[in-house]
Structure 1
Amino acid sequence: MSDTPSTPTTPSAFAAAVESVRRAVARDDLAVSEIPAPGGLAPHALALAGDVVGASGRADPDLGTGRFVLLHDESAPEAWGGVFRVVCFAQAPLEADLALDPFVADVAWSWLVDSLAAGGASHHSASGTATKVLSTGYGDLAEQGEGAQLELRASWTPTSTDLAPHLEAWSELICTLAGLPPTVEGVTLLASRRVGRD
């Protein structure tokens, strides 16, 4: 008997899902890279980070940023309702006057739902939160003035191993939050946004 612990094999369903994520086509406005997956959430996981690309051609998380995590557990946790779960995060600056709009959180959630539907990302059990953050600088930070951010955290259960549409919907979500024109039909932009890509 060997003293080295056995390496768990990657389930074929997870391998297929990872392959589909890696061949997904994110928007050109978003720089996507693979990052270490968080531990302890599931036996198998894949994580990606995305940052909006500024006018300089470089990724700038201050313009918009997000995370996409694919979880896989063959035991199909009851809360998931399946063997996969996608957990995502998206955040972008928002004009302070828009942050006061009582419906802006509803709009952010609709951008995610519409992007998933438009891309054919079949799923169920979606849940999440949309958060508006208002800030005002004081003292040494007074020059920052007032600012606002819109943040969306969401999760859902994919119904197939084809995760490319899910990643593409997340890509669309971040860019739409950042004020970039949507490429998905049926998704509309808020009337006034500060994109900051000039």
Structure 2
Amino acid sequence: MSPTPAAPGIPAEFSVAADSVRRIDVRQELTVDEIPAPTGLAPYAVALAADVAPVRHGRDSDLGTGRFVLLYDPAGSDEWGGRFRVVCFAQAPLETDIGLDPFLADVTWSWLIDALDERGADYVAASGTATKVISTGFGELARQGDGAQIELRASWTPTGFDMKAHVSAWGDLLCMLAGIPPLPDGVRLLTQRRAPRD
């Protein structure tokens, strides 16, 4: 498939980069769609949304979600250290005891860096926050009990125009947060079946 030609007024290097974002090979565990990009962050942007498919817990599971945004400013940005900037978000529910792990935020950040390195994504100026949320239901929500989730917001500056490795690393992170380990090419997880509810 040949790259999409740049639309009139769209810088060629952004068109090439955006096309590489749209043409990634999506992991089978993810459902990915292009969404409207946020405005006001950069002159040009492309954005994706992803949800982790419920391959292990049944159709009623919510295993994780995320957003990937590629920003482009043809004038460059001293803050970014380049003309491109990736901004991503990943969130997943957790078992409460995992949410209480004092090293969870550090591990989550290391998973992102490891995913970028494993995919061979070249970048500089990575930054972000990892947030743990522990919740307890009260009143009408008391039957839900305790819950936890992890949320990672991160950004980095890619050093090339091909963004496939960056998007793939973000997808790997989403799956890791959902408890789905990275798999070699061509290997698939078996879907677990469970008995129907009464």
Identity of aligned residues (%): 60
The 2-side partners of 1:22 and 1:175 are apart by 19
Trace 1:30-69 onto structure 2 (pairs within 5 A): 30-55=30-55, 62-69=62-69
- Unaligned stretches of 5+ residues in structure 1: 1-6, 186-195
Summarize the Cα distance change of 1:95–1:58 in structure 2 as closer, same or farther, 3 Å threshold.
closer
Look up the equivalent residue of 2:129 and give its one-letter code. Answer: T
Partner of 1:86: 86
Summarize the Cα distance change of 1:95–1:56 in structure 2 as closer, same or farther, 3 Å threshold.
closer
- Correspondence 1:116 to 2:112: no
Post-superposition Cα deviations, 1:68-91, rounded to whole Å, max 9, x if no partner, equal 000000111111000000000000
The 2-side partners of 1:158 and 1:55 are apart by 31
Post-superposition Cα deviations, 1:131-189, rounded to whole Å, max 9, x if no partner, equal 1000000100011100000110000000000000000000000010011122379xxxx
- Unaligned stretches of 5+ residues in structure 2: 1-6, 186-191
The 2-side partners of 1:80 and 1:112 are apart by 19
Partner of 2:96: 96
Summarize the Cα distance change of 1:65–1:47 in structure 2 as closer, same or farther, 3 Å threshold.
same
Following TM superposition, by how much is the alpha carbon of 1:55 offset from its aligned partner in structure 2, in angstroms? 3.6
Q: Over the residues paired in the alignment, what is the CA RMSD in angstroms?
A: 2.4
Partner of 1:3: none
Following TM superposition, by how much is the alpha carbon of 1:26 offset from its aligned partner in structure 2, in angstroms? 2.1
Following TM superposition, by how much is the alpha carbon of 1:61 offset from its aligned partner in structure 2, in angstroms? 8.0
Q: Secondary structure at the match of 1:116?
A: helix
Partner of 2:165: 165
Instruction: Kindly indicate which of the two structures has a greater share of residues assigned to strand.
Output: 2
TM-score, normalised on structure 2? 0.86
Partner of 1:190: none
The 1-side partners of 2:94 and 2:79 are apart by 33
Partner of 2:3: none
Summarize the Cα distance change of 1:100–1:51 in structure 2 as closer, same or farther, 3 Å threshold.
same
Is the contact between residue 90 and residue 174 of structure 1 (CA under 8 Å) also seen in structure 2?
yes
Q: Secondary structure at the match of 1:40?
A: coil
Partner of 2:189: none
The 1-side partners of 2:47 and 2:96 are apart by 31
The 2-side partners of 1:59 and 1:80 are apart by 40
**Which stretches of structure 1, 4 residues or longer, exceed 3 Å deviation after superposition?**
55-61
Post-superposition Cα deviations, 1:28-47, rounded to whole Å, max 9, x if no partner, equal 10000000000000000001
TM-score, normalised on structure 1? 0.86
Partner of 1:189: none
Is the contact between residue 98 and residue 104 of structure 2 (CA under 8 Å) also seen in structure 1?
yes
Is the contact between residue 52 and residue 60 of structure 1 (CA under 8 Å) also seen in structure 2?
no
The 2-side partners of 1:95 and 1:52 are apart by 17
Q: Secondary structure at the match of 2:76?
A: coil
Trace 1:112-191 onto structure 2 (pairs within 5 A): 112-183=112-183
The 2-side partners of 1:163 and 1:96 are apart by 35
Is the contact between residue 47 and residue 69 of structure 2 (CA under 8 Å) also seen in structure 1?
yes
Summarize the Cα distance change of 1:58–1:34 in structure 2 as closer, same or farther, 3 Å threshold.
farther
